[in-house]
Amino acid sequence: MNPVVVGIAVGAFLAFMSFQFGVWGFLGSLIFMAVGAVLGRAVQGQIDLRRVWEALLGRRSSS
């Protein structure tokens, strides 16, 4: 899909959530979209969640 079309669809969804459910609906949808993006990248193999978790805990450096 064209990135412009995806951007328009995401913007329309976020606008609907903010108008329908207010600020909390907007923020909730942003959080769920971010979690979905991270999980999607993990499934594709672009992010290793175990290494990210270890870096957050300080067991491994990010470099």
Tokens of 56: 């957050």
pTM beyond 0.85: the answer is no
Report for 2-6, 27-31, 55-59: range of highest mean pLDDT = 27-31
Taking a C-beta distance cutoff of 8 angstroms, is the pair 10, 17 a contact? Answer: no
Read off the pLDDT band of 12 (50, 70, 90).
very high
Residue 61 pLDDT class (50, 70, 90 cuts) = low
Spatial neighbors of 61 by CB under 8 A, at least 6 apart, are 55
The model's pLDDT over 35-49, given as tens digits with 9 standing for 90+, comes to 988 888 888 888 888
